[in-house]
Chain A
Amino acid sequence: MGYVATKGGTEAVLKAEQLVEYFRLRGETEPIKIEQIKSQFRLAVDRAMSEGSLYAPELAALALKQSEGDAVEASFLLRAYRSTLPRLSYSLPANGTRMRLIRRISSTFKDIPGGQLLGPTRDYQPRLLNTLLTSESSETMRRFLANFEKQVESNETDGQSSTFPKVIDSMREQDLLAEAASIGDDDIDEPFDVTRKATSFPAPRSARLQIMARGDAGSLLALAYSSIRGYGDVHPTLGEMRVGYLPIEVAHPLTGESVEIGEIMITECEMVSRVKATGNEEIELSPKFGLGYGFSFGHGEDKAVSMSILDRAISAAKSGKVHGQSGPAADEEFVLQHIDAIEASGFTAHYKLPHYVTFQADISVLERAKDHATAKNAAQAEKQLRLQQKLAKDAQDNTLLD
């Protein structure tokens, strides 16, 4: 069935839609509940929210169900839904120090103010398939939860705060940290909103951060990895990564006072690396560490870490120089134009669209070139033939003269 013929096309599209539904349901297993996706596919939900650029766990779970678990498709659905929502207001700047932490680590110093907090991490778990999960039942689940809660009760530390000061603040106090403005970054009051204004280059740092915060975890990871491997390298060290609940406030529309409207779970990362001497006098007088910032909705460690590396690499590149041979990761325009999964997958997938008209044009260009080449070859061959005939004739003449 052709998919361009005016009538057959409609039918084909509708049938294809039915087929999608059939492929999703043909196993005849119990329909997955949104609630189950939300709680048991926690990280998939977080990723869809982060790249869909919309903090809505229920909707992200729904999107995942609809997309049969495809991360990019799910964030695409959320991104599209987002366009139906008016932007009512901007939140007040949220301060990471106010996070209610579940995880917090630093690799700059072993003991940091407030201490390290491993929290829920797979980092130290042997990566072996757990076949016991195939026989998991509500019974085993309840038993685990009961045991766990008992442990928590017996470990209860009363009055201990779950908010901590930031490692980079103590680095700042020790005069180790360069402020963003002094390393040649744009100094603007209002953050740039890339969802309301088109970005142009060079982009302000706030635009860069916003694009990366919406960016595809995999793309950010690949580019950050290329930087670590020496293409635009900045030798970063993880100042602090924190995961937890961040209170969000808005200014009350009437009174103007700040009102807390809830908390969102986020991952935040601050990467430090040496600001390289560049001929910028201010820096040369006092060498410091520069800061790269990473952020993700939900629990998204790879993404936050990658983003902070790229932010740092781009800052370093803008201020003059990065270590090693420069590469894509240090090129702001290259990074920002290619890390959005919705944009990238959309345009890549457009090659599945009919290109009958343009391809026909390609063919005629090719045919003309072919004709041209044939004519040229024929002319050449004829010239060659004439030359050979002349040589043969000359040779004959010469023998006659002898």
Chain B
Amino acid sequence: MVQPEPLEPDEDSGLDALLEQLIGSENVEPDPEQAQIRETLYNFGFIDEDSKREVRRKTLKAVAIPGHLVPFASRDLPVAKGWGTGGLQLTFSIIKPDDLLKVIDQGDDDSVNAVNLRRLIQRTTGVPITTDTTLASIVQTRHRVPEEPMREDQILVLQVPMADPLRWVQPYIERSTEMHAEMDYAPIWVYMYESVVQSGDMDISSQYPVMVEGRYLMDTTPCPRYDVPRLHMSETLYLYGAGREKRIYAIPPYSRVEPLEFEDFPFRTEHKPEQFCEKCGSTNTYLTRHYIEEKQGGEGRWAFFCSDTSYCQKHILMKTGEKAEKVSGE
């Protein structure tokens, strides 16, 4: 795209100035003063207050009925549907100016999508950003529950691609809604049974289905199985937003969350005790595979690193004796 020089802001044209703020300054480092200007140009948190109120009402309903899918009128955002618009709408509707925000994608603060979403939230709210899970009041995430345990005063907002855990056995929403209402979860049990028989394991890598408070079957979003046990009796409020699928659901603090399992075939995570992170040495974190280029033109190789990058950095600093606080903030 040809990037025209920003024009002088025209006082009569609020829209032009608005657009210029968003588009005309792509490469400018955000500074606090600009954040102030943005607040006056935008509604705080981009979407209008009535819409945010609707999201909050639906969120309250979701909290009141743990694991239940609550329909909401999802708004269009300047981000593609399926890239985190559900999480964004939740964050926009609950965020306050004194919040401290962390946005991650695959556990990584620096992933392109995390950067993109953070940029939008920051530009329209001006809230400060952190990469430290323990400092953040709201963490918006795609695919991972942060490694460090979260507290009662924090909220974890998860971006959800598929909201209905029955999708695999019943793609028609009309029928799956009835199945949820009648607690007719037999087809998913059959599916699980067949996958064990055919592949010798639950053939579900992510989006592992869980029962919440013994009532509703819930999709855990594409979190790896590794993160599933952290949903059980968690201190933190988990909010799930599916923008494209127009559903909100929640796990309130201290809720029973049980992964589907058989007596003779218990739930297992993908954790392997012998694997460790080649950066920080952790053996108790979720690891992803990376390719390391060899500098001198030699063959590169594959290695495992923590997917939660801020935890990994913190761990390295702790090992080298420095204080962990230094990682926090940006």
Contact = CB atoms under 8 A, between A and B. Distances in A.
B19 interface: yes
B292 A111 contact: yes
A140 B171 contact: no
B6 interface: yes
Interface string B94-138: 000000000000101000110110001000000000000000000
B23 A130 contact: yes
A111 B291 contact: yes
A130 B19 contact: yes
B183 interface: no
A124 B7 contact: no
Nearest to B24: A132
B199 to A, nearest CB: 5
B170 interface: yes
Contact of B167 (A141, A229, A276): A229
Given A124-B113, A230-B167, A135 B7 contact: yes
A229 B305 CA distance: 31
Interface string B56-99: 00000000000000000000001110010000000000000000
A138 to B, nearest CB: 10
A112 B291 contact: yes
B24 A110 contact: no
B170 to A, nearest CB: 7
B321 interface: no
B37 interface: no
Given A324-B168, A325-B171, A144 B4 contact: yes
Contacts, number: 108
A233 interface: yes
B235 interface: no
Interface string A86-130: 000000000000000000000001111111001000111111111
Given A111-B292, A123-B80, A124-B115, A144 B3 contact: yes
B269 interface: no
A132 B4 contact: yes
Contact of A132 (B20, B162, B290): B20
A212 to B, nearest CB: 22
Contacts of B2: 136, 140-141, 144-145
B318 interface: no
A131 B20 CA distance: 8
A231 interface: yes
A111 B162 CA distance: 26
A65 interface: no
B302 A126 contact: no
22 contacts: A109-B290, A109-B291, A110-B106, A111-B291, A113-B300, A118-B112, A123-B83, A123-B112, A126-B79, A127-B80, A130-B19, A131-B15, A131-B19, A132-B7, A132-B20, A133-B4, A140-B4, A231-B171, A274-B205, A284-B198, A324-B167, A325-B169
Interface of A: 109-115, 118, 122-133, 135-136, 140-141, 143-145, 170, 174, 229-231, 233, 274, 276-278, 284, 287, 323-325, 327
